[in-house]
């Protein structure tokens, strides 16, 4: 795979993952506006760590995680592509955002469909492993 294609794919994954958090946010809003609506496997925010947390507080807390994750991954993608934000910012931004997203998923585990949860966990872990353990990408990927 060429460096250009790799930049397109990795940046695209970061972008899609960030935008995917808007789905969780939209589900929370939908469930708040239409509490009895059939949403498939989407459930109102509830934390297994603190099950007595009031529903409104849980929704606000979960929303904060998804808003930060949405913005962080979109900005990381833009940085990865060198748009608006310097190239080197994407790694700390991606790692920080993956940790925020991972924390939100763990705190609210069981609230969203399993496919969405596993996919989001997979991308978060991939970002953390790639950047922190593999120290990816090599600088040659960013040579212009």
Per residue in 78-109, pLDDT (tens digit) is 988 888 877 778 889 999 999 999 999 999 99
Task: Quickly state the pLDDT bin for 144 (edges 50, 70, 90).
Answer: very low
Angle (CA) 8-9-15 rounded to 5° is 90
Helix 114-128 to helix 90-107 angle, to the nearest 10 degrees?
A: 150
Q: Does residue 143 surpass a pLDDT of 70?
A: no
- In what helix (H) or strand (E) does residue 78 lie, and over which residues does it extend? helix 55-80
Task: Quickly state the pLDDT bin for 138 (edges 50, 70, 90).
Answer: low
Task: Quickly state the pLDDT bin for 139 (edges 50, 70, 90).
Answer: low
Q: pLDDT tens across 17-69, in order?
A: 999 999 888 888 888 888 777 777 778 888 888 989 998 899 999 999 999 99
Angle (CA) 124-49-76 rounded to 5° is 20
* Confidence (pLDDT) at 140: 47
* Confidence (pLDDT) at 137: 66
* Confidence (pLDDT) at 16: 92
* Confidence (pLDDT) at 73: 94
């Amino acid at each position: 795979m060429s460096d250009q294609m790799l930049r397109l794919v990795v940046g695209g994954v970061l972008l899609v993952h960030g935008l995917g958090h808007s789905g969780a946010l939209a589900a929370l809003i939908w469930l708040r506006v239409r509490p009895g609506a059939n949403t498939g496997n989407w459930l109102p925010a509830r934390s297994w760590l603190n099950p007595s947390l009031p529903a409104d507080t849980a929704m606000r807390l979960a929303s904060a995680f998804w808003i930060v994750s949405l913005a962080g991954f979109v900005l990381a993608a833009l940085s990865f592509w060198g748009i608006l934000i310097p190239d080197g910012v994407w790694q700390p931004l991606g790692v920080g955002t993956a940790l925020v997203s991972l924390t939100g998923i763990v705190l609210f585990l069981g609230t969203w469909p399993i496919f969405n949860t596993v996919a989001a966990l997979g991308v978060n872990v991939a970002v953390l492993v790639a950047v922190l353990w593999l120290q990816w990408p090599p600088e040659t990927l960013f040579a212009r």
